[in-house]
């Protein structure tokens, strides 16, 4: 059983989701606005949030950023928008998955199961190393989940930090995309674009590009490695 918050202003869709998730044995609470969602998350511990983007008081994308400021709860975006650039932005802003409306309740259940499995696997996983990782001018503190570049704090999303810390813990080692999916995303398979997007945003925050790398180096068809600048 999971504790689920449904954030959806369409009463018909909301009722259908509540009914299905309750029938599946989940404990469900629901709200129709972003501000109500933020209040609920701040007061109640949830396992997953289903977040609609078309909310009456605040765009769901802004609500996602605000949620990420107070919690790491997995968020599945439910949206009628299918613009790839916006979906990429949402993933980079901290969404764990997304569904494009209309979708079946079976599809939602499968996505929820996968997100919860990854979340619980991460919570029950190996304790992060206590030492601060140093690679060139990069300083990464896994316990405090803080990273600095040349003494300046990096503003990283949860997934960006996990990706950076994983690669920095293996400096100079080429890590395959399959291993990144398994270790960082807790998935046995997935879309390579997800990794590319996060690498692209991480490079930007490190002040580099794929064409002019400093720390992150991609070996086409092999994988990615992190090493200090030459």
Lowest mean pLDDT among 189-193, 214-218, 226-230: 189-193
pLDDT at 212: 92
% of the chain beyond a pLDDT of 90: 31
Over the stretch 116-168, which tens digit does the pLDDT of each residue have?
Answer: 877 665 554 444 555 789 999 999 998 788 899 999 999 988 888 889 999 99
pLDDT at 71: 79
Per-chain mean pLDDT for the chain: 85
CA distance 121 to 179: 15
Per this entry, what is the length of the chain?
230
C-beta of residue 171 within 8 angstroms of C-beta of residue 217: no
CA distance 156 to 175: 21
Helices (H), the chain: 11-23, 34-43, 60-68, 84-92, 105-123, 158-168, 177-183, 192-205
């Amino acid at each position: 059983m999971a504790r689920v918050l449904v954030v959806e202003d369409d009463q018909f869709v909301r009722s259908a989701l509540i009914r299905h998730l309750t029938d599946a044995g989940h404990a469900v609470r629901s709200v129709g606005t972003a501000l109500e969602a933020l209040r609920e998350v701040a007061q109640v511990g949830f396992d997953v949030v289903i977040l609609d983007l078309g909310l009456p008081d605040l765009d769901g994308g802004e609500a996602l950023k605000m949620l990420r400021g107070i919690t790491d709860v997995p968020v599945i975006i439910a949206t009628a928008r299918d613009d790839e650039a916006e979906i990429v932005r949402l993933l980079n802003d901290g969404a764990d998955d997304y569904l494009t409306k209309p979708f079946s309740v079976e599809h939602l259940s499968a996505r929820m199961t996968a997100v919860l499995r990854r979340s619980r696997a991460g919570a029950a996983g190996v304790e992060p190393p206590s030492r601060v990782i140093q690679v060139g001018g990069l300083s990464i503190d896994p316990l405090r989940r803080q990273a600095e570049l040349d003494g300046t704090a990096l503003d990283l999303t949860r997934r960006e930090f996990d990706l950076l810390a994983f690669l920095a813990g293996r400096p100079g080692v080429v890590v395959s995309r399959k291993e990144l999916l398994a270790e960082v995303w807790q998935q046995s398979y997935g879309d390579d674009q997800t990794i590319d997007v996060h690498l692209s945003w991480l490079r930007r925050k490190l002040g580099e590009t794929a064409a002019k790398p400093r720390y992150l180096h991609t070996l086409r068809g092999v994988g990615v490695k992190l090493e200090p600048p030459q």
